[in-house]
Structure 1
Amino acid sequence: MSGRRVLVTGAAGGIGTSLVAELLLQGAQVLATDVDASGCERLKRRFDDDRLHLVPLDLTESGAPQQIVDQALGRLGGLDGLVNNAGVEHRAALGEHSTADWARVMEINLSAPFRLARAAAPALAGRPGAAIVNVCSIAVTGFAGQAAYDASKGGLLSLTRSLAVELGPLGVRANAVCPGFIDTPMLDESGLRGLAEKVAARLPIGRCGHPEEVAAAVVWLLGTGAGYVTGQALFVDGGMVRA
Structure 2
Amino acid sequence: MVTQGLHANAGQGLGLQGRHVVVTGGSRGLGQQIVRLLSARGARVSACGRREETLEALCRGLEDEGLPRPFTRALDVAAPEGLERFVAEAAAENGGLYGVVACAGGARGGGVEEAAPADWMATWELNAWHSARLAAAAVPHLRAAGGGSVVLIASISGWKPGPQAQYGMAKAGQIHLAASLARELGPDGIRVNAVSPGSMLIPGKRWDRMRREDPAAFADFRREFPGGELVDPKEVAEVVAFLLSDLASGVSGANVPVDRAQNAPTPQGY
Alignment TM-score, normalising by the size of structure 1:
0.92
Which residue of structure 1 aligns with residue 258 of structure 2?
Answer: 236
Change in 2 beyond 3 A, CA 1:171/1:126: farther
Structure 2 Cα separation of the partners of residues 96 and 191 of structure 1: 23
Residue-by-residue CA offset, 1:57-98 (whole Å, 9 max, x unaligned): 111222112201111111111000000000013462211111
**Structure 1 runs, 4 residues or longer, greater than 4 Å off:** 188-197
Which residue of structure 1 aligns with residue 5 of structure 2?
Answer: none
Change in 2 beyond 3 A, CA 1:152/1:240: same
Asked whether the equivalents of residues 126 and 171 of structure 1 are also in contact (C-alpha less than 8 Å), the reply is no
Q: Which runs of 5+ in 1 are unaligned?
A: none
Percent of residue pairs identical? 34
User: Are residues 1:20 and 2:35 paired?
Assistant: yes
Asked whether the equivalents of residues 28 and 51 of structure 1 are also in contact (C-alpha less than 8 Å), the reply is no
Which residue of structure 1 aligns with residue 205 of structure 2?
Answer: 186
Which residue of structure 1 aligns with residue 227 of structure 2?
Answer: 205
Shift of 1:145: 2.5
The count of residues paired between Structure 1 and Structure 2 equals 242
Q: How does 1:129-168 map to 2 (within 5 A)?
A: 130-168=148-186
Change in 2 beyond 3 A, CA 1:119/1:202: closer
The higher radius of gyration belongs to 2
Q: Alignment partner for residue 107 of structure 1, among 125, 147, 169?
A: 125
Asked whether the equivalents of residues 91 and 145 of structure 1 are also in contact (C-alpha less than 8 Å), the reply is no
Structure 2 Cα separation of the partners of residues 175 and 119 of structure 1: 17
Which residue of structure 2 aligns with residue 118 of structure 1?
Answer: 136
Q: Which runs of 5+ in 2 are unaligned?
A: 1-15, 264-270
Structure 1 Cα separation of the partners of residues 134 and 219 of structure 2: 34
Alignment TM-score, normalising by the size of structure 2:
0.83
Which residue of structure 1 aligns with residue 268 of structure 2?
Answer: none
Paired letter, 2:34: L
Residue-by-residue CA offset, 1:1-60 (whole Å, 9 max, x unaligned): 111110000001210111011001100000010112221011011112435111111112
Asked whether the equivalents of residues 193 and 255 of structure 2 are also in contact (C-alpha less than 8 Å), the reply is yes
